C-alpha cells in the first residue's frame, strides 16, 4: 500500500486509458492472454458480436500502446498472430483485482454473467493455475 505522504499521479495513464476504456479492448487483451496468441478470425469467433472493422481498429490501437505484438508470417496464405507484450500481460493481471472487487460489490445480487457477455468465451479470465492444468492434461498419456 502507498505511504501516507506518497502522491500518485494519473499522468502515466494518458493515452493508454483512451484505448483500454473502449468497449472491446479489455476483452481482446483477456482472450489473447487466455490463449497466448490468436489469429484475427479466431478473435472474431471468441468476441461474439464485434465487427471486423472494430476489431482491426482496436488491435491497431492496442499495438500503438505497445500492449499487443503483431507477428506476420511469410506464408501463402498470409498468416498474422497477435500476442500480449509484457505490458499487455501486466495490464491483464492488473485488471483481475478490479474484477474481483466488482464481483464482491455485486455480492449475491447477480451470481450469473450478464446476458451481453454470457455467450462470449472471451469474457472469462483463465488464471495461470487453470492454464497450467490444461497444458499438463494435454501432455499426460
User: What does each C-alpha distance from 6 to 2, 98, 108, 141 come to in angstroms?
Assistant: 6, 22, 36, 54
| Domain assignment of residue 52, given as a range | 11-133
Q: How many domains does the chain have?
A: 1
In a domain, 54, yes or no: yes
In a domain, 1, yes or no: no
User: What does each C-alpha distance from 24 to 48, 94, 131 come to in angstroms?
Assistant: 11, 17, 23
Kindly report whether the peptide bond that precedes residue 77 is cis, defined as omega within 30 degrees of 0. Answer: yes
User: What does each C-alpha distance from 120 to 28, 36, 97 come to in angstroms?
Assistant: 11, 18, 21
| C-alpha to C-alpha distance for 27 and 43, rounded to whole angstroms | 10
In a domain, 59, yes or no: yes
Quick one: pLDDT at residue 133? 41
Lowest mean pLDDT among 60-74, 91-105, 118-132: 118-132
In a domain, 51, yes or no: yes
Higher pLDDT, 28 or 110: 28
Tens digits of residue pLDDT in 115-134: 556 666 666 666 653 444 44
In a domain, 140, yes or no: no
Residue 93 sits in a domain of what CATH number? 1.10.10.10
Give the mean pLDDT of the chain. Answer: 80
Model pTM score: 0.73
In a domain, 112, yes or no: yes
Amino acid at each position: 500500500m502507498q505511504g501516507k505522504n506518497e502522491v500518485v499521479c494519473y499522468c502515466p495513464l494518458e493515452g493508454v486509458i483512451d484505448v483500454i476504456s473502449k468497449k472491446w479492448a479489455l476483452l481482446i487483451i483477456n482472450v489473447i492472454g487466455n490463449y497466448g496468441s490468436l489469429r484475427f478470425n479466431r478473435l472474431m469467433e471468441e468476441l461474439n458480436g464485434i465487427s471486423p472493422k472494430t476489431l482491426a481498429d482496436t488491435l491497431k490501437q492496442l499495438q500503438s500502446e505497445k500492449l499487443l505484438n503483431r507477428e506476420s508470417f511469410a506464408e501463402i496464405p498470409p498468416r498474422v498472430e497477435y500476442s500480449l507484450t509484457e505490458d499487455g500481460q501486466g495490464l491483464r493481471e492488473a485488471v483481475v483485482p478490479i474484477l474481483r472487487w466488482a464481483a464482491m460489490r455485486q455480492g449475491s445480487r447477480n451470481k450469473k454473467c450478464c446476458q451481453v457477455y454470457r455467450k462470449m468465451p472471451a469474457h472469462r479470465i483463465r488464471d495461470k493455475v487453470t492454464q497450467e492444468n490444461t497444458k499438463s492434461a494435454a501432455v499426460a498419456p
